[in-house]
C-alpha cells in the first residue's frame, strides 16, 4: 500500500474540505479511505463505504459524492460492528453493496472493508478498477472467496499438478542444455576445420546465440504476458528446433552465426516462461523444489548429450558427424515443441485437466504467496517500479556473474576434458558423470532448502564452495595429473544448484505480474551477458588449460558470494521494517488481512502484507 495520498473524513467532514495528503495515523490508529477520493490515482478506485453505529455526517458526505453515487448504492447496512457476517474488519467481499442499474460488478473486484473503531467515521474501500485484478478472481464468487481446503485433497492435487507441469518443463530444459553443448561437440567432431573457423570465430558462435536472446528478451516477455503462455512456449521451442536443424546446411561462419542468433531469439522466452509458470502453480515454499526438479534436467541434458554425442560419433554416413548432431537434436526439439503446444496448460484458471473445484483449490493454495497468478494487462507503473527497485539490479548482476562460468564451461568443457589426454569419443562419455553430479547437487540443494526455512542465501554460499575449490584446482593442479584435474573439473558443476536458488529468490520476492515479467527479463539479460562474456575469457593461445577462463570462474563466484550476503541482509531489513510498521497499526501483525491483498495484482512494494524470502 505504501504511503498513498487519500482523504480523511470525520463527523465534521465537509465535502469541500478534501485534503489529499499522506495519511500516517489518526485518533483511531487506522487508515481511513473516503469515496470522494476516487480518481486521485488512475489505478485505484474507492468503491464502497460501510457504516458502523448509525447514519453520520461522514457517511452522508460519502454517499452524496457524485462519482460514487453514479455507480453504487448502499444496501443492507449493518446496525453495528458486532460480529455479523460481512462486517468483520478487513474482510474480503462485497456484502453491503450492489451496483446501481447498468453498472456491473466485475468478477476481478475484491474490495477490502476497513473499519474505524468509533461510531462517526466510515471507511471507503480500496480495490482494483474493473478487470485490473488477478485472473484468479474470476474463479470465486462472494461465497467462495476463501475456498476451504482439505489437506488430503490438496496433497493429491499437488501430485496431479506436478505431473501436468514438470515433465514438460524438465524434458524441454534437458534439450536446452543439449542444444548449448551441440557446438561444443561439433568442435571435437571437426566443425572448425570444415567451416574454416579461425581466430575468435568459434567464441563468437558461442556468444552470438545470446545476442539473439538479448535482442528479443523484452519483446518475448511482454508477448508472454499477453498470449497463452503454454502455446507461446511450445511454438518457440518448435522454431528453435527448426533453426537448429538448418544449421547442418551451413557452409560458412556467417550463415551459422545468423542461425545461432535466431535460435537464441527463439529460446529467449524459455527460462522466463518456466519461472512464470512455476510462480503461477506453486507456493513460495514449493517453488525452489520445483525449479530444482526442472533445472535438474540441465545435468541430465549434459549426460544425455554425452550419450547422444557418443552415438552420433559412430554414425558413418554421407555427412560429417557434427551435421548429424544438429539434425537429430533439432528434430527432437521441434517434436517436443509440438507436444508442449498441445498439452502444457496455460494457467490454473483455465487448465483443461482440472475440474472447476480443483482450479479454485489450486489458486487458493497460492493466497499466502501475495503474488497472484497472472494479469494480462500491461501496467506502466509496475514497469517503472521495477526499474526503481534495487533488487532488480542485484538479480541482473547475479545473472551475469552466475553465468560467466556457464558460458565458458558449456562451450569449452569438452575441449578442456580432451586436453586431459582423452580421445574424442571418450571425451563425450566423460561428460556423463559431470551431468549426474550437477543433477544430484541441485536435488540436494533444494531438499535442504525445503527442510530449513528461509536459508536460501546460506545454501547458495555453501554450494559455491566446491566450484571455487574446483576452479582453483584446474588452475594449479599440474597438467600431468589427469585424474586430479578431471575431479577438479567435476567440482565446477554445483554452481548450477546455487543458481537455482538465485532464480527461486527472484520469483518469490517479486509481486505484480507486469513487474515479474520485467524483473524476469532483466535477470535473463544478465544471464545472456554472462554467457556472452564467458567464452571470450578462453583464449586460443592458452588452450587447453585456459588460465584466464579459469580465473574468470573464480572471480565470478567470489563476486556472487558477496552480492548474496548483501542481498540477504537487505531483504531481512525490509521484513523487519514492515513488521515494525504493521505492529503499530490496529490489530498488530496478527491482525493483518492476507486475504484482502492476495489477488489484487499489487507489487511487493505496494503490498505491506508481502514478506521477502532470503
Structural domain boundaries in the chain: 5-132, 151-575
pLDDT band at 51 (very low <50, low <70, confident <90, very high): very low
- Give the tens place of pLDDT for each residue, 247-268: 999 888 899 999 999 999 998 8
Mean pLDDT of 1-9: 30
In this prediction, residue 569 has a pLDDT band, given cuts at 50, 70 and 90, of: very high
Under DSSP, is residue 48 helix (H, G, I), strand (E, B) or coil? strand
Of 82-91, 283-292, 531-540, the poorest mean pLDDT is in 82-91
Q: Say how far apart CA 226 and CA 205 lie, in whole Å.
A: 32
Query: Contact 466/491 with Cβ under 8 angstroms?
Result: yes
470: pLDDT strictly greater than 90: yes
Rounded to an integer, what distance in angstroms lies between the CA atom of residue 286 and that of residue 400?
26
Residue 589 pairs in a beta bridge with none
Q: Compute the Cα dihedral for 262, 265, 266, 271 and give only its sign.
A: positive
Rounded-to-integer distance, Cα 267 and Cα 214, Å: 10
Secondary structure (H, E, C), 283-304: CCCCHHHHHHHHHHHHHHHHHH
Secondary structure element (H or E) that encloses residue 237, with its range = helix 229-246
Q: Is the pLDDT of residue 27 over 60?
A: no
d(CA 139, CA 374): 13
Question: Distance between CA atoms of 593 and 611, rounded to whole angstroms?
Answer: 13
pLDDT at 441: 92
User: Within 13 Å and on the Cβ side, how many CA atoms surround 545?
Assistant: 14
pLDDT bracket for residue 376 (50, 70, 90): low
Mean of pLDDT values over 352-360: 85
pLDDT recorded at residue 401: 95
Question: pLDDT tens, 72-83?
Answer: 333 333 333 333
Please tell me the distance from the alpha carbon of residue 80 to that of residue 394, in angstroms, as a whole number: 50
Joined grid coordinates for residue 108: 476481478
Q: What is the mean pLDDT of residues 374-380?
A: 68
The β-bridge partners of 98 are: 73
Range 259-284 average pLDDT: 89
CA distance 90 to 186: 62
pLDDT greater at residue 36 or residue 270: 270
Task: Match 539473439 to its residue by C-alpha cell.
Answer: 212
**In the predicted model, is pLDDT for residue 438 greater than 80?**
yes
CA-wise closest residue to 280 among 324, 343, 331, 344: 344
Higher-scoring residue by pLDDT: 35, 468: 468
Look up residue 296 and give its three cell numbers: 535438474
CATH of region 151-575? 1.20.1250.20
Greater model confidence, 36 or 429: 429
Reply yes or no on whether the pLDDT at 71 is more than 80.
no
User: How confident is residue 151, by pLDDT bands cut at 50, 70 and 90?
Assistant: confident
Where are the alpha helices (H) located in 247-282, listed in sequence order? 253-267, 270-281
Report the chain's mean pLDDT, rounded to a whole number.
Answer: 73
Is the pLDDT at 16 greater than 90? The verdict is: no
Rounded to the nearest 10 degrees, the angle between the axes of helix 151-188 and helix 356-364 is 80
Percentage with pLDDT > 90 across the chain: 25
pTM metric for this prediction = 0.64
pLDDT(70) > 50: no
* Average pLDDT score over residue span 346-352: 85
Q: Which of 361-375, 455-469, 598-612 has the highest mean pLDDT?
A: 455-469
Stretch among 40-54, 277-291, 430-444 having the lowest mean pLDDT:
40-54
What whole-number percentage of the chain has pLDDT above 70? 71
DSSP state at residue 355: -
User: Residue for cell digits 446496525?
Assistant: 79
Instruction: Tell me how far apart the alpha carbons of residues 476 and 62 are, in angstroms, rounded to a whole number.
Output: 76
Contact yes or no for 121/11 (Cβ under 8 A): yes
pLDDT exceeds cutoff 90 at 206: no
Q: How would residue 467 be classed by pLDDT, with cut points 50, 70 and 90?
A: very high
Q: What is the average pLDDT across 310-336? A: 85
pLDDT at 407: 80
Encode 276-307: b = buried (16+ Cβ within 10 Å), e = exposed.
bbbbbbbbbebbbbbbbbbbbbbbbbbbbbbe
Residue 231 has pLDDT above 50, yes or no: yes
Pick from 78-82, 148-152, 329-333, 454-458: least confident: 78-82
pLDDT at 369: 55
d(CA 158, CA 147): 16
CA distance 408 to 553: 8
Using pLDDT thresholds of 50, 70 and 90, give the confidence band for residue 169.
very high
- Output DSSP code: residue 15: G
More confident residue, 612 or 363: 612
What is the DSSP code string of 69-118?
Answer: HHHEEE-S--SSSSS-TT-STT-BS-TTEEEPTT-PPPTT---B----SS
What is the model's pLDDT at position 175? Answer: 85
At 64 the pLDDT is 35
Average the pLDDT over 436-444 and give the result: 89
Instruction: Specify the pLDDT at position 524.
Output: 85
pLDDT tier at 370, thresholds 50, 70, 90: low
- 181: closest CA among 3, 309, 364, 39? 309
CB distance 52 to 30 below 8 Å: no
Q: What mean pLDDT is predicted for residues 330-340?
A: 94
pLDDT at 166: 94
Average pLDDT over residues 509-519: 86
**Is pLDDT at 532 greater than 60 in this prediction?**
yes
More confident call, 8 vs 558: 558
Residue 149: what pLDDT?
65
Amino acid at each position: 500500500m505504501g504511503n498513498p495520498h487519500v482523504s480523511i473524513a470525520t463527523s465534521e467532514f465537509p465535502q469541500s474540505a478534501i485534503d489529499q495528503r499522506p495519511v500516517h495515523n489518526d485518533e483511531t490508529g487506522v487508515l481511513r479511505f473516503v469515496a470522494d477520493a476516487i480518481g486521485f490515482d488512475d489505478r485505484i478506485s474507492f468503491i464502497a463505504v460501510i457504516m458502523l453505529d448509525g447514519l453520520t455526517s461522514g457517511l452522508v458526505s460519502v454517499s452524496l459524492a457524485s462519482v460514487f453515487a453514479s455507480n453504487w448504492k448502499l444496501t443492507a447496512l449493518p446496525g453495528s460492528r458486532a460480529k455479523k457476517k460481512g462486517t468483520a474488519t478487513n474482510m474480503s467481499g462485497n456484502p453491503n453493496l450492489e451496483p446501481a442499474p447498468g453498472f456491473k460488478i466485475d468478477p476481478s473486484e475484491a474490495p477490502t472493508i476497513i473499519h474505524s473503531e468509533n461510531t462517526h467515521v466510515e471507511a471507503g474501500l480500496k480495490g482494483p478498477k474493473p478487470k485490473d485484478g488477478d485472473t484468479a478472481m474470476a474463479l470465486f464468487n462472494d461465497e467462495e472467496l476463501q475456498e476451504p481446503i482439505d489437506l488430503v485433497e490438496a496433497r493429491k492435487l499437488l501430485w496431479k499438478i506436478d505431473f501436468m507441469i514438470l515433465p514438460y518443463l524438465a524434458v524441454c530444459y534437458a534439450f536446452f542444455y543439449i542444444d548449448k553443448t551441440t557446438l561444443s561437440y561439433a568442435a571435437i567432431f571437426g566443425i572448425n576445420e570444415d567451416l574454416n573457423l579461425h581466430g575468435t570465430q568459434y567464441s563468437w558462435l558461442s556468444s552470438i546465440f545470446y545476442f539473439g536472446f538479448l535482442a528479443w528478451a523484452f519483446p518475448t516477455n511482454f508477448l508472454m504476458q499477453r498470449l497463452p503462455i503454454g502455446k507461446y512456449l511450445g511454438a518457440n521451442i518448435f522454431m528453435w528446433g527448426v533453426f537448429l536443424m538448418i544449421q547442418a546446411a551451413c557452409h560458412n561462419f556467417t550463415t551459422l552465426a545468423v542461425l545461432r542468433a535466431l535460435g537464441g531469439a527463439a529460446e529467449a522466452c524459455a527460462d522466463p516462461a518456466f519461472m512464470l509458470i512455476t510462480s503461477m502453480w506453486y507456493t513460495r515454499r514449493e517453488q525452489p523444489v520445483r525449479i530444482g526438479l526442472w533445472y535438474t534436467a540441465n545435468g541430465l541434458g549434459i549426460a544425455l548429450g554425452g550419450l547422444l554425442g557418443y552415438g552420433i560419433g559412430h554414425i558413418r554416413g554421407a555427412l560429417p558427424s557434427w551435421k548429424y548432431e544438429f539434425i537429430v537434436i533439432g528434430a527432437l526439439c521441434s517434436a517436443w515443441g509440438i507436444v508442449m503446444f498441445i498439452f502444457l496448460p496455460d494457467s490454473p484458471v483455465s487448465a483443461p485437466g482440472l475440474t472447476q473445484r480443483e482450479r479454485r483449490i489450486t489458486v487458493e493454495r497460492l493466497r499466502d504467496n501475495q503474488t497472484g497468478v497472472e494479469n494480462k494487462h500491461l501496467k506502466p507503473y509496475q514497469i517503472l517500479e521495477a526499474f526503481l527497485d534495487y533488487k532488480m539490479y542485484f538479480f541482473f548482476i547475479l545473472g551475469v556473474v552466475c553465468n560467466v562460468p556457464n558460458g565458458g564451461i558449456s562451450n569449452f568443457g569438452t575441449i578442456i576434458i580432451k586436453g586431459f589426454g582423452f580421445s574424442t569419443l571418450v571425451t563425450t562419455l566423460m561428460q556423463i558423470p559431470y551431468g549426474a553430479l550437477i543433477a544430484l547437487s541441485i536435488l540436494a540443494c533444494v531438499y535442504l532448502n525445503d527442510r530449513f526455512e528461509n536459508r536460501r542465501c546460506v545454501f547458495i554460499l555453501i554450494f559455491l564452495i566446491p566450484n571455487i575449490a574446483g576452479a582453483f584446482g584446474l588452475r594449479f593442479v599440474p597438467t600431468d595429473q589427469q585424474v586430479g584435474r578431471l575431479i577438479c573439473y567435476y567440482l565446477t558443476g554445483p554452481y548450477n544448484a546455487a543458481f537455482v536458488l538465485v532464480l527461486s529468490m527472484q520469483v518469490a520476492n517479486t509481486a505484480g505480474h507486469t513487474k515479474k515479467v520485467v524483473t524476469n527479463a532483466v535477470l535473463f539479460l544478465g544471464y545472456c551477458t554472462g554467457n556472452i562474456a564467458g567464452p571470450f575469457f578462453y583464449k586460443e593461445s592458452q588452450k587447453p588449460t585456459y588460465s584466464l577462463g579459469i580465473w574468470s570462474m573464480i572471480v565470478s563466484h567470489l563476486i556472487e558470494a558477496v552480492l548474496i550476503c548483501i542481498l540477504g541482509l537487505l531483504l531481512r531489513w525490509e521484513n523487519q521494517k514492515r513488521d515494525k510498521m504493521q505492529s503499530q497499526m490496529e490489530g498488530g501483525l496478527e491482525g493483518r488481512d492476507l486475504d484482502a491483498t492476495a489477488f489484487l495484482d499489487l507489487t511487493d512494494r505496494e503490498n505491506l502484507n508481502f514478506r521477502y524470502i532470503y
